[in-house]
Amino acid sequence: MPSIPLTSDEKTKVLSTLGLRSTDDLFSSIPPRIREKADIGFESDHGMSEHELRTFFARLASRNTLHQDHFVGGGIYDNTIPAIVGQLALRGEFLTCYTPYQPEISQGTLTAIFEFQTMISRLTAMPVANASMYDGATATAEAVTMALRLTEKRDILMSEALPPDYTKVTNTFLKGHARDPLFIKTTTEGTTDLEHLKQMLQTHDPAAIVIGYPNYFGVIEDLAMIRKLTNALLIVTVPDPSALGLFEAPGTLGADIVCGEAQQFGTPMTFGGPHVGFFATRKENLRQMPGRVAGETVDSRGNRAYTLTLSTREQHIRREKATSNICTNQGLIALRTVIYLSFLGKQGLVELSEINHSLFEYLETALERRNIAKRFTGQHYREGVFEVPDLPARFKRACAAGVIPGIMLGPKFGKGFANSLLIAVNPKHDKTAIDRLVGALA
Amino acid sequence: MTFDATTGLVLREGTIFERSRAGRKGFQLPDPKVPRVRPKGFTRKAAAELPEVSELDVVRHFTRLSSWNYAIDLGTFPLGSCTMKYNPRINEEIAALPGLTDIHPDFPPAYVQGALEILFTLEKILAKIAGLDAVSLEPAAGAQGEFTGLSVIRTFHERHGSDRKLVLIPDTAHGTNPASCTLAGYKIAPLKSSQKGALGKEAVDEAIRTHGRNIAALMMTNPNTLGLFETQIADIAESLHEIGAQLYMDGANMNAILGVARPGDMGVDVMQYNLHKTFSTPHGGGGPGAGPIAVRSHLAPYLPAPRVVRNDQGQFDLSYPEESIGKVKGGMGNFGVLVRALTYILHHGSAGLKEISHAAVLNANYIKRRLCEHYALPVEGPSFHEVVFSDAKQTPHGIKTLQIAKALIDRGFHPPTIYFPLVVSGALLIEPTETESIAELDKLIDAFIDIAQLVAKDEKFENVPTKPIVGKVDEVRAARTPVLTLDDRGQ
Q: Whats the size of chain A, residue-wise? A: 442
- A3 and B100 in contact by Cβ < 8 A? no
| Residues in chain B closer than 8 A to A74 (CB atoms) | 106
CB B93 within 8 A of CB A53: no
What ranges do the domains of chain A cover?
69-81+345-441, 83-341
Which alpha helices (H) appear in A176-213, and where do they start and end? Answer: 194-203
Q: What is the mean pLDDT of residues A280-285?
A: 97
CB B47 within 8 A of CB B20: no
Residue B133 in this model has a pLDDT that exceeds 90: yes
- Of A31, A45, A30, nearest in space to B353 by CA: A45
- A129 and B111 in contact by Cβ < 8 A? no
Minimal Cβ distance to B470: which of A107, A118, A145: A107
- Of B100, B398, B362, nearest in space to A14 by CA: B362
Q: Which amino acid is at B402?
A: L
Kindly report the nearest CA distance between residue A370 and chain B, in angstroms. Answer: 18
Residue B2's pLDDT is: 57
In this chain, the answer to whether the domains covering B91-346 and B354-476 adopt an identical fold is no
CB B406 within 8 A of CB B70: no
- Separation in Å, CA B234 to CA A230, B159, B218: 55, 26, 13
CB B391 within 8 A of CB B416: no
- Cβ neighbours of residue A39 closer than 8 Å, sequence gap 6 or more: none
With a threshold of 0.95, tell me whether the complex ipTM lies above it.
Answer: yes
Q: Which residue of A has its CA nearest to B349?
A: A47
Q: Which residue of B has its CA nearest to A108?
A: B65
pLDDT digits (tens, 9 = 90+) for A423-434: 999 999 999 999
pLDDT digits (tens, 9 = 90+) for A139-193: 999 999 999 999 999 999 999 999 999 999 999 999 998 899 999 999 999 999 9
Kindly report the nearest CA distance between residue A44 and chain B, in angstroms. Answer: 5
Q: Which residue of A has its CA nearest to B53?
A: A343
Least confident segment among A31-45, B51-65, B326-340: A31-45
d(CA B276, CA B485): 29
d(CA B473, CA A100): 12
Kindly report the nearest CA distance between residue A3 and chain B, in angstroms. Answer: 6
d(CA B321, CA B313): 21
Positive or negative CA dihedral for B412, B416, B417, B423?
negative
Chain A and chain B share a number of CB contacts under 8 A equal to: 713
Minimal Cβ distance to A14: which of B339, B414, B438: B438
Residue B102's pLDDT is: 97
DSSP letters, B424-447, are STTEEEE---TTS-HHHHHHHHHH
Residue A301's pLDDT is: 94
d(CA B196, CA B203): 13
Q: What is the mean pLDDT of residues A29-58?
A: 90
CB A357 within 8 A of CB B37: yes
N- to C-terminal Cα separation, chain A: 57
CB B377 within 8 A of CB A31: no
- Residue A315: pLDDT band (50, 70, 90) is confident
Render the burial of B332-341: b for 16+ CB within 10 Å, e for the rest.
Answer: bbbbbbbbbb
pLDDT digits (tens, 9 = 90+) for A395-416: 999 999 999 999 999 999 998 9
Q: Are strands A156-159 and A208-212 parallel, antiparallel or unpaired?
A: parallel
- Separation in Å, CA B35 to CA A356, A358, A367, A431, B39: 11, 7, 16, 10, 13
- B115 and A271 in contact by Cβ < 8 A? yes
Architecture of domain A83-341: 3-Layer(aba) Sandwich (3.40)
DSSP letters, B250-296, are EGGGGGGTTTT--GGGGT-SEEE--HHHHT----TTT------EEE-
Q: What is the mean pLDDT of residues B205-215?
A: 97
Minimal Cβ distance to B15: which of A67, A111, A305: A111
- B475 and A292 in contact by Cβ < 8 A? no
DSSP 8-state symbol, A24: G
Residue A345 in this model has a pLDDT that exceeds 90: yes
Minimal Cβ distance to A249: which of B44, B94, B288: B44
Kindly report the nearest CA distance between residue A307 and chain B, in angstroms. Answer: 7
Residues 208-227 (B) with a CB less than 8 A from some CB of A: none
pLDDT digits (tens, 9 = 90+) for B225-253: 999 999 999 999 999 999 999 999 999 99
- Percentage, residues of chain B above pLDDT 70: 99
CB B384 within 8 A of CB B227: yes
pLDDT digits (tens, 9 = 90+) for B300-336: 999 999 999 999 999 999 999 999 999 999 998 999 9
- B482 and A286 in contact by Cβ < 8 A? yes
- Of A379, A354, A360, A352, nearest in space to A434 by CA: A360
- Of B376, B393, B372, B392, nearest in space to B445 by CA: B372
Kindly report the nearest CA distance between residue A146 and chain B, in angstroms. Answer: 11
- A427 and B115 in contact by Cβ < 8 A? no
B91-346: what fold? Aspartate Aminotransferase; domain 2 (3.40.640)
Does B109 lie at the interface with A, CB-CB under 8 angstroms? no
pLDDT digits (tens, 9 = 90+) for A93-141: 999 999 999 999 999 999 999 999 999 999 999 999 999 999 999 999 9
Kindly report the nearest CA distance between residue B188 and chain A, in angstroms. Answer: 8
Minimal Cβ distance to A247: which of B42, B110, B228: B42
Residue B4 in this model has a pLDDT that exceeds 70: no
- B131 and A64 in contact by Cβ < 8 A? no
Residue A38's pLDDT is: 81
- A104 and B339 in contact by Cβ < 8 A? no
Minimal Cβ distance to A271: which of B87, B105, B178: B105
CATH no., domain B354-476? 3.90.1150.10
Kindly report the nearest CA distance between residue B364 and chain A, in angstroms. Answer: 10
- A17 and B366 in contact by Cβ < 8 A? yes
Residue B12 in this model has a pLDDT that exceeds 80: yes
Residue B156 in this model has a pLDDT that exceeds 80: yes
Residue B491's pLDDT is: 60
The per-residue pLDDT of chain B, averaged, comes to 96
- A330 and B287 in contact by Cβ < 8 A? yes
What ranges do the domains of chain B cover?
1-68, 91-346, 354-476
Q: Which residue of A has its CA nearest to B126?
A: A40
Q: Which residue of A has its CA nearest to B5?
A: A105
d(CA B245, CA A179): 24
Minimal Cβ distance to B284: which of A57, A95, A404: A95
Does B346 lie at the interface with A, CB-CB under 8 angstroms? yes
Residue B3's pLDDT is: 57
- B351 and A45 in contact by Cβ < 8 A? yes
Q: Which residue of A has its CA nearest to B117?
A: A60
pLDDT digits (tens, 9 = 90+) for A208-259: 999 999 999 999 999 999 999 999 999 999 999 999 999 999 999 999 999 9
Minimal Cβ distance to B111: which of A64, A166, A248: A64
Q: Which residue of A has its CA nearest to B383?
A: A26
Does B471 lie at the interface with A, CB-CB under 8 angstroms? yes
Written out in words, the top-level CATH class of the domain with range A69-81+345-441 is alpha beta
- Cβ neighbours of residue B357 closer than 8 Å, sequence gap 6 or more: B255, B256, B257, B258, B259, B260, B385, B434
Residue A50's Cβ-side half-sphere holds a number of Cα atoms within 13 Å equal to 9
Does B320 lie at the interface with A, CB-CB under 8 angstroms? no
| Residues in chain A closer than 8 A to B478 (CB atoms) | 295-297, 307, 309
Residue B1 in this model has a pLDDT that exceeds 60: no
DSSP 8-state symbol, A271: G
Kindly report the nearest CA distance between residue A87 and chain B, in angstroms. Answer: 9
N- to C-terminal Cα separation, chain B: 49
